[in-house]
Amino acid sequence: MAINSYANLKTALANWLDRSDLTSRLDEFIELAEARFADDIRIRAMETTATQALTSGTRSYALPTGYLQGRNFQINTDPITALEYITPEMMDRIWAGSSTGRPRTYTIIGDNYHLGPAPDTADTLEITYYKEFTPLSGSATTNWIILNRPNLYLYACLLEAAPFLGNPEEAGVWARYYQEALERLHEADARDRFSGSALTIRTTAGNP
């Protein structure tokens, strides 16, 4: 059976776990696996851009939906102004008060980013960032990982299930399979970045 959707993943999990009493727990294992992906995966398929119309005098704006990690913040002026990341403490020291101008730095606090100095014109900020993969659900039945790396989903879910089932030895096995699949994913992504060629992926859900 191909593992290429939310429903197929749940069926595969039930088969691999060989437990008929875990149906209500499968979504928990999937959610835990997706939390692991958010920590472990940074590949080109996650990169996206968002723009924000800046308001004169306003320093703080909400991060884009699904933001995991930034790659580039820039003001789309002529010439483009690339912003430098600084810590929140440095932001307070350097840009304390009500100074305005063309932003040159940014920092992140919670779910918001802050610019220094506050913009004095209504420019456009462009953010390139890693966005989390859409979580699988009954209404969102596929995402990039399930379509391109279904074995990664399977191993991560089985890894999350093992402690719940009290199987530390199996957790070690699935951790190794997951790590090997994760390394191959990042190696393929690195080759693609440097070669400029299309990313080609072959997977078999039953093999590490």
pLDDT digits (tens, 9 = 90+) for 19-52: 888 999 999 999 999 999 999 999 999 999 999 9
Residue 206 pLDDT > 60? no
Is 200 within a domain? no
Is 202 within a domain? no
Confidence of residue 193 (pLDDT cuts 50, 70, 90): confident
Which residues are 115's β-sheet partners?
106
Other CB atoms closer than 10 Å to residue 175's CB: what's the count? 15
What's the CA angle centered on 29, arms 28 and 33, to 5 degrees? 115
- Kind and range of the H or E element at 52? strand 47-53
pTM: 0.86
Is 203 within a domain? no
Average pLDDT over every residue of 59-63: 97
The parent domain of residue 35 ranges over: 6-41+134-195
Residue 176 pLDDT > 60? yes
Please report where in the chains the tokens 């776990």 appear, as a residue. 17
Residue 135 pLDDT > 50? yes
Note the pLDDT of residue 192. 85
Note the pLDDT of residue 20. 82
Is 51 within a domain? yes
Q: What separation in angstroms does the CA of 90 have from each of 58, 86, 87?
A: 18, 6, 5
Question: How many angstroms separate the CA atoms of 116 and 134, rounded?
Answer: 32
Q: Who wins on pLDDT, 192 or 75?
A: 75
Number of domains in the chain: 2
